[in-house]
Every structure is written in C-alpha cells, then in structure tokens.
Structure 1
Amino acid sequence: MARLRATLPRAAGRIVADYEDHLRDERGLSAHTVRAYVGDVVSLLAFVHGVTGVEPQDGVSDSPEHADGLACLDIGVLRAWLARQRDEGRSRTTLARRAASARTFSAWAHRRGLLESDPGVRLAAPRPHRTLPGVLRTDEAEQLMRVSATGAEEGHPVALRDHALIELLYATGVRISELCGLDVEDVDFDRRVVRVLGKGRKQRMVPFGLPAERALRTWLRHGRASLATADSGAAIFLGVRGRRVDPRTARRVVHAAVASVPGAADMGPHGLRHSAATHLLEGGADLRSVQELLGHATLATTQLYTHVTVERLKAIHDQTHPRAQ
C-alpha cells in the first residue's frame, strides 16, 4: 500500500495525509483502524487516477482542476470502484467495509470543502456476513487458566506476565490493544476494576475477579521488576526488553496457551474476548451490561453473541434430548 500511495499525484497525497491526521488526532482511532481506512482511500484515489495500470475514470484528466482526484468523485465513481473489487473476488465483508470507508472519507472531504456535495450518502453496499469466531467452552476456559497458572508456578517473569495477561483478558473481555495500553495506575485493586481507554478514546471501567487479581498482583510484585527498564514507563505489561508489550506478542501468548488445551479451537485474544462475552450471557448477564463491559458502540454488535449462545444451546439440545431427533 505504501508503494501505491507513493504513485498518487502530489495533491492527492496531501489529502490522504490530512485525512490520516484527522483519523488519528481528531477521531482518536487506533493505529490498525487508521491503516485500514487510509488504505481504502488510497485504493479509491488510485482507481480514480488510473495508477498501477488501472484506466482512469471518464472525466478525469491530468489538468490542474482534477489534480486532487476529488473534482470528479461522484456516486458513479464510487460504485465503479466497488464493482471492480467485486469482480476481483473481494468478499461481501470487504466490500461492505470499503464502502463504509468511502462514505467516511467523502463526508470528511465535503466538510473540508474538497467536494461540493457528499456522494457517499447515496452509496449502498452488500451487508457483510457477520460471523463470530469459535469460542471456548467454560470447561476449556477453566483448563486454559489452569495450564497458564501451572506455567507461572516456577516464577519466571515472562510466565508470570503471560498468566496475568491471559487471566485479565478473559476476566474483562477487553480488546488486546486496550490491554496492552494499560498503565499501573489504571488498576484499582480495592474496587477490583480496571480503567480502559477504548475506541474513540472513550474510557470505561471494567471489573475483574479474584483469580485475575491474584495473577496481576503476583506479576506486579515478582515479575515486572525483573523486566523493567528506564523505557518501561507506567506500562503494566512489558516485553522482554522492558518496553510496553505489543499486541503481536500478546497474540502469540494467547495462541500458544490455547493450543495447550486439547480440543480447543485455535484462537487469539479476540476469540478470548468472544468467549468471555458468550459466557457472561450464558450465565445470565443482560445485553446492556455486556455492551458496557465490552465497549460496544451499539447494542446490535453485542446482540451477535446471543446468536452464538442460542446455537450452542440448540446443539446441546440436539445431542442430549431424547426427543431432539
């Protein structure tokens, strides 16, 4: 994507840079989300300008008035861009995401005065197939925690960190980026809650249980100091070089731990988050509470977990009820 971005006309490149600043600094989106949004816009403007062998769209020329690639950006161009990707075999989920990116960009460009009108309001896209990854059964989750605790018994700093990381992930259901961003002062052991900075820089308080408290206290008392350096700052979880642990490391930790549970589906932190949400609902938690805990902007996102729960109940019924068949 960096090469494609470099081929854009200079004016279009400046617009992309301004849009990137807006997403990062004004909207406070995560680095991963910013990369995805910017990548989609680069793809759109490359399509408009016909770079990398793609033919320019009708009405686009090399004249100065079209140098920014936005003067001709209308609903027809947006639809043609999506159609090209559909013809290339992009999934419904990808098309839906890129349509959303285009709408966000065109709305911003209109507000900035770069477009006379906002063509994105007329852009429709196929609804994505919203699916969730596999989740752990409650007994598998318990076994995962036992395996993690066993590894920490020897007292190695990394093992203590990994156990605390896994316990806190499952206890809270926070996103991996949220967990990696935690500082020591974000944990209130008296109330047993953690302050999380979520998407859009929105704060929320998430409770955790006694097992996570014990694992976290042990890590902070006996493990963290062994890894801490002058570069550690206030970060709770540290990498082997003493800096704040990065999400890639945390993902490897979770994948490796889940792999030690016989029969468990391969999953990373996102799967552990889904498992926590599903187990909360199965235990009787209401949707609104789970929405608040997970930091979902809309209840519709949280409602996806009810489908998982219902399907699991149906599967159990089919396997165990004598009159199911």
Structure 2
Amino acid sequence: MKSIHIPFILIFCIFFYGCKTKSTFELIPSEDSGIEFNNQIVDNDTLNILTYEYLYNGSGVGLGDFNGDGLLDVFFSGSQVDSKLYLNQGDFKFSDISKSAGINTLGRWCSGVSVVDINADGLLDIYVSTTMKNAAKDRENLLFVNQGVKNGMPTFKEMATEYGVNDSGYSEHAAFFDYDRDGDLDLYVLIDVIDQQPALFRPKVTDGSYPNTDRLYRCDWSTDLKHPVYTNVSKEAGITIEGFGLGVAICDINQDNWPDIYVTNDYVSDDLLYINNKNGTFTDQSKNYFKHTSLTAMGNEVGDVNNDGLADIVALDMLPKNTERKKQLAPP
C-alpha cells in the first residue's frame, strides 16, 4: 500500500505546483529601474511622531508624459529630501533629470503632487503642495510650468507666485477641475493645520475665518501675462467649513453634470460633500446625503464600484475598534 500511495502523492503535489498562480506584478529593483528615490525621514528630539503626527504621511507621486514621447514619467516629492523627476526611457528604465529639468522644491516639506496642463499649451505641468514649516514663505506651494521639450528633455520654471497659486496654508493636497464650466481649470487646495487639541469636540467654525479651512481658486486668463491667474474665491463660493483635510475627490454625486467636491477630514471634523449650485457657489450637503460619515477619516476615492451608473465613495479612517482603545487615545 505504501508503494502505491507515495507515487500518487508525488503526482498530486506536482499537479498543484504546476497550477500555482503566477504573480500579477513583478518587483523591479532600483538598480534595474534607475529609480533610487527614498523619502527618508530622520526624526530627533524636537521633530518626531509626538511633536508632529503627520511626520510619516508621505509626500506624493505624480505620473505624466512630460516630454510627449508616449511614456509615463515619474515625479516624486520629498519631505526632508529633494524632489526628483525621472524620465521614462522605456522597458522600465528611468533616468534622473531633476537638475537639468529645473526641478527644485527649495527645501519645502512636500505633501502632495498634482500633474496638470495648467496653461492649456499641451504640455504637462507639476503642482506641489507643501506643509509643516513654521514660516509662511517656507510652505508656499510650488508650480513647475513646462517650458518645452528639446531633444527629448523637458524643462520647467517655478511660477506659483506669477499664477497666484502659491498658497501657504499648510496644504495637504490639491485638485484641479472646472467648477464653473468656463473651459479652464480651477483649483481646490486641501488644508490641514494641526492645532493643540484636534480631537476636542467643540462648535465648528463655518464662516471661513478658521485657518483650517480649504481654499478654492478661480482660474481666469490674463491677456497681458498670456497665462492663467488664480483668485481665492473660497468665502464667496461657500467653501467655509473648517476641517483637518486628508483627502479630496472631484465627482458628480447628483449626476447633474456639474462637478462636486468630497472631502475626508481627520480627527473629529466632519467629512464634507460640497454640492455645486451651478452659480459659482457650493453648499455642504453631507447631512442630507449620508446617514453618517467617518471620524478620523484619511483618504477617499469616488467611482462606480458596482457598475450601476452611480458614484460610490470609499473613505478610509483610523477610528479605534473599541471604546477602550478610543479612550486611551483621547487627549487629556
């Protein structure tokens, strides 16, 4: 009997080994790809997870064909390290062109990347959100405008101030979209200022006066400058509710063909659903659309998950699983 069982077991094992599912993705080592970016964080006695909770949040990555060769290039923004732009050479090979391309994030603590053709010239530009630094000038967002491509190499010029998008309000991320449907790209800047007691329940500030309020910038074309200029229209547009923003998605929740805004907020600040009123203003309708939203929410994404033609929302949160853990993490 043993002589019969052993061959059977061997055949059985060989069969299932042959049916082993191959991995969908393959890890490409940095020495092969040429991508050596490492967003290394070095903490110390004054800069650590206790003094800055978002220390390890990451800085963002953006993909885009910056030289028009049909291949996706990669932009990495850095926190304590320099940001990098890698040009796609094909066959998963990349080269660091940051210096020659004019990419310099000036020691900013970067928190997000948006790839956009901001001036509608057919060339992709890079908008970098920044945060953390105490001095306002050291946390102004950056805009790298594509100056053109020569011999396959793109070059950029930092022009955030000229365009009016050098927001210094502790930006977490940004989204470009045409909220007024006039044919150009407006800008929503997600703000997250950590105050002394972020988990304290208190009346919400809803008049736009609190520093922790997101920003909406309207885009208008300047014939004199020959490029767009942005104006902060947050208050008049109804973007006035404070929050600790960690995620923003542009979507059409009510299917009226006007873009709406969904924002996930950290700590005890409520998530927001700004419905487009079609007249240049928005109204938060989260209470009317949802029975509840998460507290301590992180990022979000909106899409038609079940293919029924309706927008579904995925929101991540870090709310503790039980009351005991929640109380342990509560502020004194």
TM-score w.r.t. the length of structure 1 is 0.23
- As a proportion of its length, which structure holds more helix? 1
- As a proportion of its length, which structure holds more strand? 2
Taking CA–CA contacts closer than 8 Å with sequence separation of 6 or more, which of the two structures ends up with the larger relative contact order?
Answer: 1
TM-score w.r.t. the length of structure 2 is 0.23
